[in-house]
Structure 1
Amino acid sequence: MPDLNYQKQAQEFYGKVPVIIMGSGASAAHGMSGMGRLAQHLVAHTDVSDLSVSELEVWEKFCQLLCDRVDLESALHQVTASEELTSRIVKATWALINSEDIKIFQKSLQDNAMFSLSRLLEHMFRSNLKKINIITTNYDRLAEYACDQGRIHHYTGFTHGFFRQLASPTEITSVRRVNIWKVHGSLDWFQSPLEDTVALSNIQEIPDNYQPQIVTPGTQKYQKTHLEPFRSIINNADLAISEAGSYLCIGYGFNDEHIQPKLMLKCLRQKTPVTIITYALSDSAKRLILEGNAQNYLAIERGETDDQSIVYSSLDKAPITVEMNIWSLEGYLSLII
């Protein structure tokens, strides 16, 4: 076991009913593509037929940036894609992530212990807690699948059913509920021909005249998130962040301007505890949390092997190396359950 202080700190932070913040690392643990693989997929599979000469020039510049090893987000910021080209990039992104998401869903049908998140949520609900908030930058539905496996109702901003329409949080009631605030959209959200946003359950292809409502990195991200349903979702995520007793960040890189400012304000001004578990701490996480002025933090990343963890804590200036896996969600659960 690690030094008792770290386990005690993990339990103390967990006892403050954390808001769960999930980033791409939480999905990567299940084999979902990260930005690198997505970039390769976009170059190979984006439909660029019938684009104008100027659009093709932008596309070629974008591909060149990726070939020069510029990361996907920076590359999308460095080009000004037309609405049509952006739409094609969104569709290619959707096709890759959706196919991976559905494979994970199929796999989960054979393995009812697949999601560590299910165990975490079930444990949190063993108290008199009625509501848990998850905030995620991911498009996939792994959090929803984890809720389903744990027989837990979830709400993502829509009514229930196969053709789901926007609904306020008070419209859907249940004794216990997980709110999943998807600040960059979801694979099952689409703009309909009526130009409203609807959610369509478990479909394999984009229906005719429907547009996926996922926000890809780049300049379009800022315009789109000022519109519904993103504005309401981000507003609810902000509310969850400001009311939280603590934060549990799973595979989250601290690189998102929709979540960061309020989260850091709480950690710095109000000393709200934050726990980070991840494969590798991002430069942003190190800068904002470890080297910043956060007072109450516990950050755990993978060491040299899966069975080694490096623990950074506000209790101690020097990190310690622990010969066990406590950096993954499954490993972290061994500290608190």
Structure 2
Amino acid sequence: MELHDLKLMLQKHLTDGLVTIVGSGLSCAEGLPGMGELASHLDTTVIPGLAAADRDRWTAISPLISAKGLEAALLEVPPTPGLETAIVTRTAELIASRERQIVAEVFSRTRTLRFTRLIKQLLKPQTGLPIVTTNYDRLIEVAVEEAGLGVDTLFVGHFAGELNEAESRLSFCREVTLRGKQVQYRYRLRANVFKPHGSLDWYHRDGKPVRYSGDLDLPRLIITPGLNKFRNGYESPFDRHRERANAAIDRASRFLVIGYGFNDDHLETHLTPRIRSGVPTLLLTHTLSANALKLVAECPTVIAIHRAELGGIAGSSVHVAGVETFFSGLALWDLGAFVAEVLEP
């Protein structure tokens, strides 16, 4: 395949009915910690302040992390409630600290997020651009606002904002007109951001989920790797965001998948079957996970682009309908390079 033909194919993919799935790979590309760094951070910070039983449980988990990875270790040896709370706290601290540095650069105009550049090139439906992310950080929200769009997260209010889907949607209404007997609403262009694993700005207050953008010395509502993913995923606000994410996936005409490994059970019950049914999918990632490799091999409607080397020269490997092509010197798997090479004039 020639590069020109590939670019035309990729441009045609990003049309109506697009749902974007964002995994941790995009956050890592911007400088947030990956699973390996998170595991190391937990290993050095989680023990202080734990009760004896919680320390013993971490002692059993810790050796498994280097051998099997953090999530597999937590699944094999479930954390105690006290240890689970400590893991959530330490995870949030690390991600929030790194996020602050990145957001400060964006605020001072010394950095443009990759996702901001992408959003500027996508079609913006009046109902909102659906984005599903398993990430806790707020870089997607920041990137969308930097591109000039509003962000609908189903919460309303700045201080202890409440989860209220209808109020959140109506807050973007800019005009109401009556044509005959029909009422028409005009909304601000926006992205609908669904976060089934939670967000750094979600807390509990009086037994209800609230959103507060600052840092509080309180537990944040995030689902960390391990067994609590299955339990907490069915509590508010995770349940509503998961339902809206799955509904968007079910309606999608095509997918753009960025830095996501197809390893999340909450999404896979809807996402993978839709892709297997023939929904056109473009996958950009540094490395194809085992599940992603299987999808690419079995689904001819998946275009996958990942990092590769040939003869010691780095480039991009592109899988289209069972044919793999290497493009030397091009990092098309990286969202920033993809936008520059394929979408920007």
Structure-2-length-normalised TM-score: 0.88
Asked if the contact 1:310/1:320 (under 8 Å) is kept, the reply is: yes
- The answer to whether residue 315 in structure 2 is matched with residue 312 in structure 1 is no
**1:185-204 pair list within 5 angstroms:** 185-192=198-205, 194-203=206-215
Cα offsets for 1:107-140 (capped at 9, x unmatched): 1122365112112222224x66541011001001
Query: What is the match of residue 308 of structure 2?
Result: 303
The number of aligned residues is: 325
Query: What is the match of residue 141 of structure 1?
Result: 138
**1:1-337 pair list within 5 angstroms:** 2-52=2-52, 54-66=53-65, 68-111=66-109, 114-125=112-123, 129-169=126-166, 171-173=168-170, 174=172, 175-192=188-205, 194-203=206-215, 206-207=216-217, 210-269=218-277, 271-287=278-294, 289-292=295-298, 294-304=299-309, 308-314=315-321, 316-333=322-339, 334-337=341-344
Cα offsets for 1:243-296 (capped at 9, x unmatched): 111110111111111112211211222x11000111111121001x2122x231
Q: Aligned equivalents of 2:329 and 2:166: distance in 1?
A: 44
Higher strand share: 2
Cα offsets for 1:124-159 (capped at 9, x unmatched): 24x665410110010011001101211211011211
Deviation at 1:303, TM superposition (A): 2.3
Q: Aligned equivalents of 1:318 and 1:59: distance in 2?
A: 43
Asked if the contact 1:311/1:322 (under 8 Å) is kept, the reply is: no
Q: Aligned equivalents of 1:160 and 1:96: distance in 2?
A: 26
The residue type paired with residue 232 of structure 1 is R
The residue type paired with residue 313 of structure 1 is V
Q: Aligned equivalents of 1:185 and 1:33: distance in 2?
A: 17
Deviation at 1:318, TM superposition (A): 3.3
Deviation at 1:321, TM superposition (A): 3.1
The verdict on how the C-alpha distance between 1:196 and 1:170 changes in structure 2, with shifts beyond 3 A counting, is closer
Deviation at 1:50, TM superposition (A): 4.8
Deviation at 1:213, TM superposition (A): 0.4
Asked if the contact 1:14/1:336 (under 8 Å) is kept, the reply is: no
Cα offsets for 1:7-33 (capped at 9, x unmatched): 232122212442111001000111111
What SS is found at the alignment partner of 1:37? helix
The residue type paired with residue 143 of structure 1 is I
Asked if the contact 1:267/1:295 (under 8 Å) is kept, the reply is: no
The verdict on how the C-alpha distance between 1:327 and 1:286 changes in structure 2, with shifts beyond 3 A counting, is same
Matched-pair identity in %: 29
The verdict on how the C-alpha distance between 1:172 and 1:35 changes in structure 2, with shifts beyond 3 A counting, is same
Deviation at 1:170, TM superposition (A): 5.3
Q: Aligned equivalents of 1:318 and 1:311: distance in 2?
A: 5
The residue type paired with residue 333 of structure 2 is W
Cα offsets for 1:187-229 (capped at 9, x unmatched): 111122x1211111132xx33xx32101011111100001111
Q: Aligned equivalents of 1:154 and 1:279: distance in 2?
A: 27
Q: Aligned equivalents of 1:306 and 1:21: distance in 2?
A: 30
| Stretch deviating more after TM superposition (90-99 or 274-283) | 274-283
RMSD (Å) for aligned C-alpha atoms: 2.0
